[in-house]
Chains A and B, each alone.
Chain A
């Protein structure tokens, strides 16, 4: 039987930081809303800095204590009260998301900055408030230990992300925002239905307590199926991906980076959390293979359709659909390892690294696309001539991010694919390795197409439409470098991701 995540339910020393990590972004949002105008941006940037410090302190506390960081809210122990838990997986995602959001914050100072003396405008204020709301809800998704609090976190994430899609107010973006909202609401209501079933049968919504009580019975399978299908709708896995490309391509550059890089990671992480922690004893290999199959289909369909795109932002959006497929290949490999009695750590680490490197690379790519649009006045892939000379750092960043998506060494994508392929080989599921390599090949095709086109010399007498500030290019390059150099994580002595996780280490399936 699976063991509880961490046996004792008592507040650990670093626990208060978890509460701060959730509430600081929301407090910053509320104060920024009252001040409004230019001051909202300054409040937001200050909150970003404070939040980054808190997240680093949490990581330090986790590594220091060597076990999950826990905080019992209000002193009421679960199952009655709510506990916040941050194990290795949560902290790694917290740090990665904090870095990407700070990068986006610095990048967005140019697009959504309000110079002093200018009256408060709609888009800048909304962007800064919703950026902090997305961050607060993501931190809550990573840290909460209660299924209903996670449902409220999912709703917070949806309500913060949908207005970002229709920020510039054109009717197509409003239409894709409405379609996104309907998919996301269907997803979260199915997730809630699964949680309700679990409470009806096991009497608690706390994840470690559920991990002990859940037995393989019809109600548990129904709850698993409902929750996972709901989260698939929110993460836009293959059959349910129709809403993603128009939504992510229509949004402004900084908002697209938030949507593609961060928002879909929230519901994906929740799927990982319930698959490996709550339903560790219930999941079967065939169900995991089905998830893997959907992931493989997403990789192939997403990449093929991306090849046919004429606009750069839509190309990157369909590339997101494909990369989401990689994230779901981790499930059959981990369950295959567990059912073979081996340790599923390799596959879980591979999946997490894939998620982190994709977050950084995709955010860098969308921000680069924003700079391309600002310089050329359009983002048609056909004629990107003269871009390399106009924006050298941005094209380099795009290439590095593309290399990380393809999986060239020493990038984070390479290390993730290496771990996943080695897991595939040890469990003799060779077809997943084939799919990954094919996906990498297809990704490399459209990345090289774009990069080669930008290297072509510009028409004579062509001048960039509007100058792009250097710090924006520097931020894009920094994020791309982070993703590119993530492969160095293999040198990290202690396996940070597995701290405080006893469940997935020795899950012996019946």
Chain B
């Protein structure tokens, strides 16, 4: 049980928390936070792999580090687009929920996997 493996397990737990938060929370903003936690869990797992790949005097394998930086920027762009959609929804009707009024028969908060 050394540092990287510990943070690998921590990453697995974070992905579990994020997935639970994404599915259960009815508020769209909470779902976006859940998605960000899953993303940071995946990046932490990638960082653990980078750290394990340390060789030739480098602190970690540079390829996963570069992909990590690209991934964090992509995750930020996704959050920005999601928040912009959310604020437009708030401007339009004030009621910010994922359940569509058009067909109330549809499941209230339709979790992705249920």
**A182 partner, pick from B28, B48, B102, beta carbons under 8 A:** B28
Considering only CB atoms and an 8 Å cut-off, how many residues of chain B contact the other chain? 40
Asked whether A185 lies within 8 Å of B64 as measured between CB atoms, the reply is no
Nearest residue in A to B12 (C-beta to C-beta)? A193
With A171-B92, A199-B64 already in contact, the answer to whether A240 and B113 are too (CB < 8 A) is yes
What are some 27 contacts across the A-B interface (CB < 8 A)?
Answer: A148-B70, A151-B71, A152-B74, A155-B74, A162-B85, A166-B85, A170-B92, A172-B101, A174-B89, A174-B92, A178-B28, A178-B85, A178-B89, A179-B98, A179-B110, A183-B112, A186-B22, A186-B35, A189-B35, A189-B39, A192-B42, A196-B49, A199-B46, A239-B113, A240-B112, A242-B107, A246-B102
CB of B21 to closest CB in A, whole Å: 12
Asked whether A152 lies within 8 Å of B70 as measured between CB atoms, the reply is yes
Asked whether A192 lies within 8 Å of B89 as measured between CB atoms, the reply is no
Asked whether B81 lies within 8 Å of A159 as measured between CB atoms, the reply is yes
CB of B51 to closest CB in A, whole Å: 11
With A148-B67, A155-B74 already in contact, the answer to whether A177 and B85 are too (CB < 8 A) is yes
Asked whether B81 lies within 8 Å of A162 as measured between CB atoms, the reply is yes
Contacts of B35 in A (CB 8 A): 182, 185-186, 189
CB of B72 to closest CB in A, whole Å: 12
> Which of the listed residues A158, A163, A179 has the most CB atoms from chain B within 10 Å of its own CB?
A179
The digit string for B55-73, where 1 denotes a CB below 8 A from any CB of A, is: 0000000011001001100
A203 to B112, CA, bound (A): 32
Asked whether B15 lies within 8 Å of A174 as measured between CB atoms, the reply is no
With A152-B70, A199-B64, A240-B112 already in contact, the answer to whether A175 and B98 are too (CB < 8 A) is yes
Asked whether A155 lies within 8 Å of B78 as measured between CB atoms, the reply is yes
> Which of the listed residues A158, A166, A176, A193 has the most CB atoms from chain B within 10 Å of its own CB?
A193
Assess whether A458 is interfacial by the CB under 8 Å rule.
Answer: no
Asked whether B82 lies within 8 Å of A175 as measured between CB atoms, the reply is no
Assess whether A233 is interfacial by the CB under 8 Å rule.
Answer: yes
Contacts of A175 in B (CB 8 A): 89, 98, 100
Asked whether B112 lies within 8 Å of A233 as measured between CB atoms, the reply is yes
Tell me the chain A residues, 143-188 only, with Cβ under 8 Å from chain B: 148, 151-152, 155, 158-159, 162-163, 166, 169-172, 174-179, 181-183, 185-186
Nearest residue in A to B80 (C-beta to C-beta)? A159
Contacts of A185 in B (CB 8 A): 35, 78, 82
Contacts of B85 in A (CB 8 A): 162, 166, 174, 177-178, 181
**A196 partner, pick from B46, B81, B112, beta carbons under 8 A:** B46
> Which of the listed residues A169, A176, A189 has the most CB atoms from chain B within 10 Å of its own CB?
A189
A10 to B112, CA, bound (A): 43
Instruction: Name 5 extra pairs, CB < 8 A, besides A200-B52, A240-B112, A242-B110.
Output: A186-B112, A193-B42, A196-B49, A199-B64, A242-B112
Contacts of B86 in A (CB 8 A): 178
Asked whether B110 lies within 8 Å of A181 as measured between CB atoms, the reply is no
Assess whether A491 is interfacial by the CB under 8 Å rule.
Answer: no
CB of B104 to closest CB in A, whole Å: 13
A177 to B100, CA, bound (A): 11
> Which of the listed residues A170, A179, A196 has the most CB atoms from chain B within 10 Å of its own CB?
A196
With A178-B98, A181-B82 already in contact, the answer to whether A196 and B93 are too (CB < 8 A) is no
With A175-B100, A182-B31, A242-B110 already in contact, the answer to whether A200 and B49 are too (CB < 8 A) is yes
Assess whether A490 is interfacial by the CB under 8 Å rule.
Answer: no
Nearest residue in A to B95 (C-beta to C-beta)? A171
Nearest residue in B to A156 (C-beta to C-beta)? B74
Contacts of A80 in B (CB 8 A): 63
CB of A124 to closest CB in B, whole Å: 19
> Which of the listed residues A176, A185, A192 has the most CB atoms from chain B within 10 Å of its own CB?
A185
With A185-B35, A239-B113 already in contact, the answer to whether A172 and B100 are too (CB < 8 A) is yes
Tell me the chain A residues, 117-164 only, with Cβ under 8 Å from chain B: 148, 151-152, 155, 158-159, 162-163
A179 to B103, CA, bound (A): 15
Contacts of B113 in A (CB 8 A): 239-240
Assess whether B108 is interfacial by the CB under 8 Å rule.
Answer: no
CB of A247 to closest CB in B, whole Å: 11
CB of B106 to closest CB in A, whole Å: 7
With A148-B67, A175-B89 already in contact, the answer to whether A159 and B78 are too (CB < 8 A) is yes
Nearest residue in B to A154 (C-beta to C-beta)? B74
Tell me the chain A residues, 206-248 only, with Cβ under 8 Å from chain B: 233, 239-240, 242, 246
With A178-B89, A193-B42 already in contact, the answer to whether A172 and B49 are too (CB < 8 A) is no
A409 to B96, CA, bound (A): 48
Give 8 closest A-B pairs by Cβ, nearest first: A171-B92, A200-B49, A178-B85, A196-B46, A171-B93, A193-B42, A242-B110, A174-B89
